[in-house]
Chains A and B, each alone.
Chain A
Amino acid sequence: MKEFAQAPAVLIFDTFIRVYFSCRPSPDAHGQYLSYTGFVDLDRKNISTIINISRKPILPLGSRGAFDEFGIYPVSVIKHDNQVRAYYGGWTRCESVPFNVAIGCAVSHDEGKTFTRIGNGPVLSYSPDEPFILSGPKIRKFGDQWYIWYIAGKKWILTDTGPEPTYKIRMATSLDGIHWKKINKDLIENKIDEDEAQASPDVFFYDNLFHMFFCYRHSINFRGKNGGYRIGYAFSQDMFSWTRADEKAGIDVSQFGWDSEMIAYPHVFKLDRQVYMLYLGNHVGKYGFGAARLEDYSS
C-alpha cells in the first residue's frame, strides 16, 4: 500500500486501540485505484504511539463481478458476542459513471485481525428511493437494536471533468444486523444547497443525547479548500429526527498544514474519560489521518 489512510474507525482493547483505515496501492495505468482496509494499533495510554500495523488487509477484495471487486472502503467495526463485525463499502467500476458502491458485512473470530465475508453479495443495497452509491456505513448497537447510518446517492451531476455524485445521510434498523429496515428519508437538512454531499455519519451517545459528526461538501468544485469537506454536527433525542447545528462542531480547518484545506470523515469515541475525534485532512486522507481531543462540552 502506498497512498491514503482513510475513514478511521476504532475498536477499543485492554491496552491498545485498533484503528481501521483504508489505503491504496499506486494507481494503475488509467489512474484508477483499488482500496483495501488495514489497521494500526495505538497505545491506549498515549494514542500518538504506534504499537503495530497490520501486515495485510483485513479482507481480500471481492471476486470477478462481485459488488466489492475494486475496493473495501470505508469500514465500521463493532464487537458482538465473541466476534467482531465489520460493515464496509464495496466498490465496483461502471461504464457510464466511474463507480458504484453497496454495503457488505464481514466477521472476525480473531479479535479483529482477519475477517471473512458473511456472503458474497451486499447486506444492504439499492431500493426505489436509493438508486446507487450506498456507502459510508457506521454500525452501532443501542440496547438490543442494531442501527446503521450510511449515505445514499441522489444523483450523478455532469461536469466538465466527468460525472460527480452527490449523496445524503440515511439510516436503517435491524434486530440482528443482517436483515435491515430502511427509514427511507434524508436525516440531515441541507446547508449549502440541495445538492450538498454529506458523508461519514458518525453517531455517538454522550451525556444523554445522540450526537452525529459528519462531513459535507459542495457538489462540484470540491477538491480544494473552497468547496471541500468540512465537519458538520447534529443532535437528536431519539436517533430519528436530527437538528443540524454545525456551529457547535467545535473544529475547523487549520491555518496551515495537513488539514488546512479540508477536514473530513470524523470518527468520535470515548476512551478513558476523554473523548477523541479522528479525522482526515487535505485530499481526503491521501497523506494520513489525525486526532483531536474534546476540550469543552456543553449541550
Chain B
Amino acid sequence: MKWIKLGKIFDPMDHILPNNCREFAQSPQALVYDSFVRIYFSTRMKDETDKFLSHVAFVDFDKTLQNIISISQHTILPLGRLGCYDEHGIFPFNVMRVDRETIFGYISGWSRRKSVSIETSIGLAISTDNGFTFNRIGDGPILTASLSESFLIGDPFVIKDGDIYHMWYIYGTKWIEPVHQADSSERVYKIGHACSADGIVWEKEGRQIIADTLDENECQALPTVLKYRGMYHMFFCYRAAIDFRKNKTKSYRIGYAYSMNCATWTRDDTLAGIDPSCSGWDSEMMCYPHIFLCENKMYMLYNGNEFGRSGFGAALLES
C-alpha cells in the first residue's frame, strides 16, 4: 500500500472551538454524508485543577477534504456526571451510522484516579438528529474491566458486518512502576475484540489479537478497521511503554494487520505504507489513525506531533 499525504487539514488554533476548548484535535473519526464529511475529534480545556478535560467536537468538510464548511460550536455530548466513567473526558469518540434516523457514538471515557492517573471505560450515546447531538443510553459503560482485562478499556471502533457488530478496542495489561517515586506510572495496553448482536450488549473475545513487534510492553492503540474486497484491514498505532513522549525512536508509529476471517490477524507494519515525514507537523510521531471510504477513495486521518496538539491531517490511498 502507498499513501499520498494531503498534509494537515485542520488546526484547532485557527478556529473557535466549543466548550472553551483550545488546542488539541485528536483521534479524528469520519462520518460521510450525502454532500459533506463530518469529522468528529476530541479537543481540550483545562479545569480548576489545571488538568485537561477532553470534549467532542466536529468539523464539516466538503467531500474533497480540502474545504472546511463549518465547525461545531455547541456541546455535542456533555461529559459524564460526578463519579462516572467519563467524567474527565471523552477521547476518542467513534461514530457509526445504524440507519437513516440513528447514529451510534461510542465513548472512550476518562476518569481520574489517585495511585495511577487515569481509568477508562467504553460507553454508548445515540444521536437521533443526524449526528448533531448525542445522548447516553445510561450513566455507566457498556464495556469495562473484567477478569482478564483489569483496567483501561478504551478506544472503541465499531463496524457492522452482516448481522454482527464487531468492536475493536484496547485493554490495559499493566501499570509500570516508575523508576523514581515522584514520577507517574506508565501504562501498557493491547488491542482486543468483542462481538454483539445489537451494538449495545457485547461479548469480549478475551485475548490479545495483534502480536507485539517491539516487546511485551508495546502499547497498541486506536484500532481502525475496514473490510475491503473481502479482506479486513486494520490500522492502529503503537509505541514503546516508556520514554515515548519526546524520544522519536520510541514514539507512536502507524501499524498494520490484515485478516481473511476477522479471527486471526497477520501483523506486517511494513505494509502500512505511511511513515513520519522528515520535518513538520508529523515528523516526530504519527498516531490515532482512522480509515474510511469516501466516493470510492480510501482515506486515512491521523494525528502527528504531540499527539495531535496542533491538529490532524489526511492521506489518500494511491491504489
Residues of A participating in the B interface, judged by any CB pair closer than 8 Å:
63-67, 69-70, 92-97, 100, 102, 105, 118-123, 125-133, 153, 155-156, 158, 163, 165, 178
Contacts A128-B140, A129-B138: A65 and B175 contacting too (C-beta < 8 A)? yes
| Interface size counted on chain B using CB atoms at 8 A | 40
Measured CB to CB, the nearest residue on chain A to B139 is A131
Q: Is B116 an interface residue (CB 8 A)?
A: yes
Q: Is B148 an interface residue (CB 8 A)?
A: yes
Q: Is B150 an interface residue (CB 8 A)?
A: yes
Q: Which residues of A contact B121 (CB under 8 A)?
A: 126
With A122-B147, A126-B140, A126-B141 already in contact, 20 other A-B pairs whose C-beta atoms are closer than 8 Å = A64-B175, A65-B116, A65-B151, A65-B175, A93-B115, A94-B113, A94-B114, A95-B113, A97-B82, A119-B150, A122-B146, A123-B146, A126-B121, A127-B140, A128-B138, A128-B140, A129-B140, A131-B80, A132-B140, A163-B83
Report whether B112 and A96 are in contact in the complex, using a CB–CB cutoff of 8 Å.
yes
Instruction: Indicate the member of B49, B119, B187 with the most A CB atoms within 10 Å.
Output: B119
> Which residue of B123, B139, B145 contacts A122 across the interface (Cβ within 8 Å)?
B145
Q: Is B104 an interface residue (CB 8 A)?
A: no
> Which residue of A65, A130, A131 contacts B83 across the interface (Cβ within 8 Å)?
A131
Report whether B82 and A128 are in contact in the complex, using a CB–CB cutoff of 8 Å.
no
A90 to B312 alpha-carbon distance, docked (Å): 40
Instruction: Indicate the member of A92, A126, A155 with the most B CB atoms within 10 Å.
Output: A126
Q: Is B142 an interface residue (CB 8 A)?
A: yes
Q: Which residues of B contact A100 (CB under 8 A)?
A: 83
User: Smallest Cβ distance from A98 to chain B, in angstroms?
Assistant: 9
Report whether A163 and B147 are in contact in the complex, using a CB–CB cutoff of 8 Å.
no
Task: Enumerate the 6 nearest inter-chain pairs by beta-carbon distance, A residue then B residue, closest first.
Answer: A128-B138, A119-B147, A131-B140, A65-B175, A95-B112, A121-B150
Q: Is B239 an interface residue (CB 8 A)?
A: no
Instruction: Indicate the member of A66, A96, A131, A133 with the most B CB atoms within 10 Å.
Output: A131
Q: Which residues of A contact B115 (CB under 8 A)?
A: 64-65, 69-70, 92-93
Measured CB to CB, the nearest residue on chain B to A67 is B145
> Which residue of B113, B123, B124 contacts A92 across the interface (Cβ within 8 Å)?
B113
Report whether A102 and B145 are in contact in the complex, using a CB–CB cutoff of 8 Å.
yes
User: Smallest Cβ distance from B283 to chain A, in angstroms?
Assistant: 33
A187 to B88 alpha-carbon distance, docked (Å): 31
A65 to B119 alpha-carbon distance, docked (Å): 8
Contacts A65-B116, A93-B113, A126-B121: A132 and B147 contacting too (C-beta < 8 A)? no
Instruction: Indicate the member of A100, A119, A125, A158 with the most B CB atoms within 10 Å.
Output: A125
Can you list 5 A-B pairs with a CB-CB distance of less than 8 A? Answer: A126-B144, A128-B136, A131-B138, A133-B83, A158-B82
Contacts A69-B115, A158-B82: A120 and B150 contacting too (C-beta < 8 A)? yes
Report whether A153 and B147 are in contact in the complex, using a CB–CB cutoff of 8 Å.
no
> Which residue of B82, B111, B145, B175 contacts A156 across the interface (Cβ within 8 Å)?
B82
Report whether B83 and A97 are in contact in the complex, using a CB–CB cutoff of 8 Å.
yes
Measured CB to CB, the nearest residue on chain B to A68 is B150
Q: Which residues of B contact A65 (CB under 8 A)?
A: 113, 115-116, 119, 150-151, 172, 174-175, 185, 187
Q: Is B149 an interface residue (CB 8 A)?
A: yes
User: Smallest Cβ distance from B181 to chain A, in angstroms?
Assistant: 12
User: Smallest Cβ distance from B218 to chain A, in angstroms?
Assistant: 18
Q: Which residues of B contact A102 (CB under 8 A)?
A: 145
Q: Is B84 an interface residue (CB 8 A)?
A: yes
A132 to B80 alpha-carbon distance, docked (Å): 12
Q: Is B243 an interface residue (CB 8 A)?
A: no
Report whether A94 and B147 are in contact in the complex, using a CB–CB cutoff of 8 Å.
no
Measured CB to CB, the nearest residue on chain B to A63 is B175
Q: Is B205 an interface residue (CB 8 A)?
A: no
Report whether A94 and B111 are in contact in the complex, using a CB–CB cutoff of 8 Å.
yes
Report whether A128 and B114 are in contact in the complex, using a CB–CB cutoff of 8 Å.
no
A63 to B113 alpha-carbon distance, docked (Å): 14
User: Smallest Cβ distance from B212 to chain A, in angstroms?
Assistant: 19
Q: Which residues of A contact B87 (CB under 8 A)?
A: 96
Q: Which residues of A contact B177 (CB under 8 A)?
A: 64
A92 to B85 alpha-carbon distance, docked (Å): 13
Q: Which residues of A contact B293 (CB under 8 A)?
A: none
Measured CB to CB, the nearest residue on chain B to A152 is B140
Report whether A66 and B150 are in contact in the complex, using a CB–CB cutoff of 8 Å.
yes
> Which residue of B112, B137, B138, B146 contacts A94 across the interface (Cβ within 8 Å)?
B112
Q: Which residues of B contact A96 (CB under 8 A)?
A: 82-83, 87-88, 111-112
A165 to B139 alpha-carbon distance, docked (Å): 15
Contacts A69-B115, A93-B114, A131-B84: A125 and B145 contacting too (C-beta < 8 A)? yes
Q: Which residues of B contact A153 (CB under 8 A)?
A: 83
A158 to B82 alpha-carbon distance, docked (Å): 9
> Which residue of A67, A127, A155 contacts B138 across the interface (Cβ within 8 Å)?
A127
